Amino acid sequence: MPLPSHGRYDYSAITRRPTYAWPQGRGLAVYIGLNLEHFAFGEGLGAELAPGGPAPDVLNFSWRDYGNRVGAWRLLSLFDRLALPASVLINSTIYDYAPELAAAFRARGDEFVGHGRSNSERQGPLAEMDETALIREATGRILAEEGAAPRGWLGPWISQSALTPDLLQEAGYTYLLDWCMDDQPVYMRTRAGRILAVPYPQELNDIPMIVGRKLDGSAFVDMIIDNFDEMLEQSLEGPLVMGIALHPYLVGQPYRLRHLRRALTHIAAHRDRVWITTAGRIAAHVAGLPDGIVPGSPGFAR
């Protein structure tokens, strides 16, 4: 008896696909997904430094708020020093709470990716009407502030309902980051067309590694370097995407920032061999490829 399926994409072995290259013939594309997140005070969801007490949970709220007040600015300086672009995954309430933070990344020319209204909530449990409203509200605010609607989306807490890919495609999104099942972009079916899944990291992500698995900063950064070196070798056989997911309240802490600088310096030193870019540029490049090349495109043979 077949198991229930999402029906969004078919199985495809990465070793049996047509090959293609990133710009300048590069095999590995690397992007940084920087999460700029805002949290409600005294209610809702949020990562915890220590088990939270009764609301208001000042300890954990303040720890997360450090990311916007301090950590993100330290990361911005590091990105500037190494000439690294970023895909800024932004809660739309950041524009109300810390507008100068969004402005600083805007001035760098970074990409803005929809990341819901706040990370105090998940969109997955919402009814279709309410989820549509959440997407519309967050998208509209980014459009108003940035002058262009975002093309990519990552749900708060990587949360999706059964309809999220449909709703995003219908709202004008061309790619999403929530489906972390591959090292290459894959087209997903929606009820009105298709949407591209760009690889987003669950392992090279400081929340599951540092908060979840309790790794220290040096171990997390060793993971980044080892992953980069291995994927650089693997990319000789075909194109790969390596994302690095960062949260300023974690890697913006000074002792972790020192380790992160080591990893990003290592990657930047190989910029003549890899494509250091944004998630949006990866999606745009894939959109320009002929049909039959990318899994899920017309004519693709499994």
Residue 74 in this model has a pLDDT that exceeds 90: yes
Mean pLDDT of the chain: 96
Q: Express each pLDDT in 148-171 by its tens digit.
A: 999 999 999 999 999 999 999 999
Residue 113 in this model has a pLDDT that exceeds 90: yes
pLDDT for the residue numbered 50: 80
Of 21-35, 40-54, 55-69, the one with minimum mean pLDDT is 40-54
- Distance from the Cα of residue 234 to its chain's centroid: 22
Q: Are 56 and 121 in contact (CB under 8 A)?
A: no
160: buried, middle or exposed (CB in 10 Å: 19+, 13-18, 0-12)?
buried
Question: What is the average per-residue pLDDT within 222-236?
Answer: 98
Fold observed for domain 17-43+51-287: TIM Barrel (3.20.20)
Provide the terminal-to-terminal Cα distance of the chain, rounded to the nearest Å: 22
Question: What is the average per-residue pLDDT within 71-79?
Answer: 98
Query: Rounded to whole angstroms, how far apart are CA atoms 210 and 251?
Result: 9
Confidence of residue 202 (pLDDT cuts 50, 70, 90): very high
pLDDT for the residue numbered 53: 77
Residue 1 in this model has a pLDDT that exceeds 90: no
Residue 198 in this model has a pLDDT that exceeds 80: yes
Residue 51 in this model has a pLDDT that exceeds 90: no
pLDDT for the residue numbered 302: 76
Q: Are 33 and 244 in contact (CB under 8 A)?
A: yes
Query: Rounded to whole angstroms, how far apart are CA atoms 188 and 161?
Result: 15
Helices (H) and strands (E) in the chain, counts: 11, 9
**Strand ranges for the chain from DSSP E:** 28-36, 87-90, 111-114, 152-153, 175-176, 186-190, 193-197, 240-246, 275-277
pLDDT for the residue numbered 55: 82
The closest alpha carbon to 178, from 193, 163, 165, 191, belongs to 165
Query: Rounded to whole angstroms, how far apart are CA atoms 230 and 206?
Result: 19
**Strand ranges for 256-301 from DSSP E:** 275-277
Of 44-58, 78-92, 268-282, the one with minimum mean pLDDT is 44-58
Of 43-52, 103-112, 172-181, 244-253, the one with minimum mean pLDDT is 43-52
DSSP conformation class of 4: P
Would you kindly state where each structural domain of the chain is located, as residue ranges?
17-43+51-287
DSSP conformation class of 20: -
pLDDT for the residue numbered 48: 86
Query: Rounded to whole angstroms, how far apart are CA atoms 46 and 122?
Result: 11
Cis peptide before 56 (omega within 30 of 0): yes
What DSSP assignment string belongs to 106-155? HHTT-EEEE--S-TT--STTS-HHHHHHHHHHHHHHHHHHHSS--SEE--
pLDDT for the residue numbered 189: 98
